[in-house]
Chains A and B, each alone.
Chain A
Amino acid sequence: MSKISPVIGRYVTIEVDGLEYKVFYLENGTGQPLVCQHTAGAHNHQWRGLLEDEEITANYRVIAYDLPRHGKSDPPENTEWWKEEYQLTADHFVNFIVALCDALELEDPLFMGSSFGGNVALQLALRHPDRFAGVLSVEGADYSPGFYLDWWQHPHANAAQVCASGTWDLMAPQSPEADRWKTWFYYSQGSEAFKGDLHFYSVDHDLRGRLHEIDGDKCPVVMMTGEYDYLTTPEDSARTASEIKNGSFINMPEIGHFPMSENHDRFRIHLLEALDALRSVKANA
């Protein structure tokens, strides 16, 4: 029996706000595109379980990309990026995702992101309800202050270990140890981007008072959060969902801030429920 995975990886070159990026993405499956954003300071291997999930890939084309400066997506090709501090903004993050979906010629894609990806999912629903058929905001909220910390890049500490062990507590003790350690390992690889990502997560992303502007008919929003997430708690996500038209919230017991990476088998149960919820909102709209 072949041990070759059906998941394939490709690069696509896109331009966003004058910056040229060569973007790496993994994909598998056929059907409606399901575009997946990893968490801050990580990369697309967080979606390794989903990418090989036979039930989901039978109905969805799962695309998990590396955001530039993460995994196999390099920093911009056409700037001297090493002369500037990296600080991700909501504008650039949103423009990047739309440009990527355009470059891949995706029709009616669903977007799913976790943590800062869950926050940008809300930004996409607000700004581009016509471009996305719906969004799944995992571990997201209208506002998530407190994590834009100098410790992630302090030159007197081992930044790789600070990022990896500093996010360890975001996972649930019930999640399989090997999957938690894989997630730790990804975090040890991303310390140069983590703090800049968190500029978006904790500073630039702030939709307080604006959630009612999201067109939940055109672009339904489903939020899902794990009970061990101390950063964006289930209460934060539930409150956020309640202020969005047609917004719904799924509480995920015994899971943390990196559901797809720390415990895909558990996460997929809630994900199937969330995909059903998106379909029914769309059908009734």
Chain B
Amino acid sequence: MTTAPTATRAPAEWAEAFTEANNTDPEIQAHGKYFTTTWLLDAGEHSYAIKLESGEVTAVTVDPGPLDVPYQFAIRASSDTWREFGQPVPKPMFHGIWAASFQRDMRLEGDVLVLMQNLRCITRQIELLRIIGSPV
């Protein structure tokens, strides 16, 4: 079910909504057996270190300090870009990490191999923002 996000959530609340959405998502749960990593969603105003174990989000650290949480790769973009990702139907070029990396200010950094190894589930995770709303 897709519902329009009403207002931006507080970071802790967003982390909770993201965890719930991921852990109940049929696609990720069907295909996430080996989806085990920690990655950083960097949205400028706030960042989130998202820890996954076998497709389950087991921890989200909001605004981690410089050495707090090791992560394998990062998806970084401006707050404005992430806000567009949080629309129920995003505008062109804000509809995925490839689109926004090729045409907008998104950057895929760190061990991109781990991102590629988990691309199917990451792609779905990013689309959960259309349901729960922007992280900033």
Query: Is B62's beta carbon under 8 Å from chain A?
Result: no
Which A residues are CB-close (under 8 A) to B113?
154, 156-157
Interface contact A162-B119, CB-CB below 8 Å: yes
Q: A166 contacts the other chain (Cβ, under 8 Å)?
A: yes
- Given the known interface contacts A166-B98, A230-B102, the answer about A161 and B92 at a Cβ–Cβ threshold of 8 Å is no
A173-B90, A174-B89, A228-B92 known; A162 and B116 CB under 8 Å? yes
Interchain nearest-CB distance for A193 vs B (Å)? 19
Residues of B within 8 A of A165 (CB): 119-120, 123
B103 touches A168 (CB 8 A): no
Nearest CB on B from A154, distance (A): 7
Say whether A146 faces chain B, with CB atoms less than 8 Å apart: yes
Chain A stretch 141-199: residues in CB contact (< 8 A) with chain B:
146, 151, 154, 156-158, 161-162, 164-166, 168-170, 172-174
**Total residues of chain A contacting the partner, CB 8 A:** 22
Judge whether A27 is part of the interface by a CB distance below 8 angstroms. Answer: no
Distance between Cα atoms of A231 and B93 in the complex (Å): 10
Compute how far the CA of A158 lies from the CA of B120 in the bound complex, rounded to whole angstroms. Answer: 10
Chain B interface residue count: which class? Answer: 10 to 19
Report yes or no: A161 in contact with B120, Cβ–Cβ below 8 A. yes
Q: Would A231 and B102 count as touching, CB distance under 8 A?
A: yes
Tell me, yes or no, whether B95 is within 8 Å of chain A by CB. yes
Question: Cβ of A227: which chain B residues have Cβ within 8 Å of it?
Answer: 92
Residues of chain B lying within 8 A (CB to CB) of residue A228 = 92-93, 95, 99
**B residues near A154, Cβ cutoff 8 Å:** 113, 116
Does A248 sit at the interface, judged by CB under 8 A? no
A257: nearest residue on chain B (CB-CB)? B99
Q: How far is the CA of A166 from the CA of B120 in the complex (A)?
A: 8
**Chain B residue, CB-CB nearest to A227:** B92
B98 to A164, Cβ gap below 8 A?
no
Contact with B along A21-47 (1 / 0, CB 8 A): 000000000000000000000000000
Of the A-B pairs whose beta carbons lie under 8 Å apart in the complex, a sample of 6, sorted by A's number, is A151-B116, A164-B120, A165-B123, A168-B98, A173-B130, A230-B93
